[in-house]
Structure 1
Amino acid sequence: MKKRVLVLGLFVLISLVTFTQNVYQGTVLYHQNPEYPIEGVQVSLFGSDNQLVATVETDEFGGYFFDGLSDGTYTVRATTTLPGAQIAIQQAVYILMYINGLYQFDPIQFLAADVNGSGSVNFSDFMFIVVNYFVFHQPFPAGTWIFEEIEFSTGSRDGNSLGGSRIGDVEGVFVPTGRDIINEFIITERESVSPAVNDEFIVPVYANTYSDLVGGYGLVLGFDPQMIEVIEVIPFGDNAAWGILNNQIRISCFSTQLGPLEAFDGKIAEVRVKLLQPATESFFPFNVKGESQVLNSNGLIENDVEYAMPKLLANVSQNVNIATLYPNPASFNAVLSVTSGAAIYADLMLFNQIGQLVMTHTVQLSEGANEFDIPVEELQMGVYQVILRDKATRDMILSQKLIKQ
């Protein structure tokens, strides 16, 4: 009789323990889109006393699972260090439309739009994306990612999906599971210039669109600081903001009235530059980065925008047939050998690795063979650029690297 009571007691105890152990599972989705689960998110479970119970990581399907839970009320929160993608300047348009009552946000969109973390969405969020973030690359005060929270009570095995978003990605387009992103736009040549070293000149940048009603734009121009120095930027639009950061000119301009800017003639910016080193071949002074966007008066992206600008031409002297430099590397002297078809004067220049002129003098070339010594003994070891340029025409005769060992 005692054995039967003991066995029955153990059975009741085991049944009670089994009954009070609960499970909870759910998924983390980008903007609650079932086609875009987020892998690698840290999902944490907190008890009613706000104490951490457990943390798991989402799988490739965005799924997570908690088991062994006692009866009670819990809160699910998520964090991640995933990089995501850069936020496009068009996202600011949705905030402007929301402020003007033309667009409604769902809960995850509202969280994504509150880039300054104030708990509301207003004009300061719009301006932060357009100027602070896009032009000056300042991080969002609200952080990098935002996730919804879920509160549940035990008894339900399956949880609701938990939405997440990159801060600023109001539209939910920058999916962290991967997508093709344009690195640079193709540029077409429009006009050309043949500057000499230290010449200052204007580079017009064109954005050819199908409409002259432009509502805003974000333009990013990359450049080589060893070749050109940016002196002045004149962007299109009265309220344009611009800055130079990490060898990029970054410009943004928007109509805050949700309409077109002043009449757009295709010239999106003018940049005054100085040529720092001779060009050995023709090149575009800027490349247009893929995060650049032109928006129409309705705030939609203009597709198939064609960017154009002048190409900087490298002039090669027609008077010189052969020009060589030896020995290379050199320790004491290098010899410049030039065969000229005419008697001319030329500027012989030597630049260091950061584009500073370390030697210059004028040489006279006779018709036929010529040789000139270039003393390098006093120079520091490194790579130098030897330039020989026709003094009268400014045409390039030779541009070659010289290694001082």
Structure 2
Amino acid sequence: MTTTIETTAEALTDGSTDLLRFATAGSVDDGKSTLIGRLLFDSKTIFEDQLESVEKVSTERGNDYTDLALLTDGLRAEREQGITIDVAYRYFATPKRKFIIADTPGHIQYTRNMVTGASTADVALILVDARKGVIEQSRRHTFLATLLGVPHIVVCVNKMDLVDYSEEVFENIRKDYTDFASRLRVPDLTFIPVSALAGDNVVNRSENMPWFDGRPLLSHLESLHVASDRNLQDVRFPVQYVIRPQSHDARDYRGYAGTVSGGVMKPGDTVRVLPSGLETTIEAIDTADGPVDEAFPPMAVTVRLADEIDISRGDMICRPQNSPAALQDIDAQICWMDETAPLVKGKKYAIKHTTRWARTMVKDINYRIDVNTLHRDEDATEIGLNEIGRIQLRVTQPLFVDPYRQNRETGAFILVDESTNKTVAAGMVGGLPHAS
């Protein structure tokens, strides 16, 4: 069998097709790794030697089938334990679109890993075992996906071959899941019955489920429109670095480098610089390949301005009529990631928001939330490892923030323990998803 692949960094960034990031989540043994392996195998995006290696290991294990999960379970510890224990990123492309996959763990103790994997995802693939139906971990993964503002959720009801491809089983799971999801803000929800092991409705339409009139998974992912999801806010350009070349020919060059976090910028546009509040116009926008006529997320560019303004790392370039809020009191939800100590009221940390660093203190803990039941514990005095809570922070200098639901770049931050330099929390500006 001849197979082809397009997974290099160059292939993923050459601009010929658009990019979609999706994260997989599900309980242990729900088939996440097998599903990804099936996507790669049936779309012919694996090397021959990769396939030969997988076939060899499958035979050595005594399997009478090719275990496609081995295409993604690359860590030795994963293979020894039979579970995915970290976020594994995979890259592939089809003629219609490029993909980055974040394969996240299923265990509750790895909630922080799912937060990491899903934080930049356009789509969350939630796997549900057709034999087990919607369980606590299904609800937890859905809650986390909505918490992280993932705009599209695809529920893959897997192992349909083990329930005789029953439409009744699929519809019961769809109803149970929809009942729970109605308590959350889920912008776009799709259900697809699949068998990752047999290949039903993954890349090719299943002949075993003629009652399902939707698209197979890959076709659905190829057709999703995600560009507008990334531009819910106007221009946001956090300055990462001020470029002042020392060469004689470029001594008058002054540019501000960073990654566009919102909106579209063009030469001639009027912009405002925070915190100074001074206004000017964009003179030019440069990239590694030369000047461009416009810049949009997530392009890395250097902006040149018409006027000389005192700008440094951490400043924000935005529209005069649409500026982010400059706040020192931050209402946020956080996922705690430190296994050595919980978050408690009064503790101080370093905070990094876009390209800006400051120091902060925990003013209050509003509540800790049970991600399985959505119950809010308003008597909580601490937030431990992998727990989610809503807190109040006081920051030493203003941060230029948007609500996380409007901009996942300017609405996010991390907390860092200054004594160890460890990242101890991921935070999102604004309240938790609504739960009735």
TM-score range, shorter chain: under 0.3
TM-score, structure 1 normalization: 0.24
Pair member with larger Rg: 1
More helix by share: 2
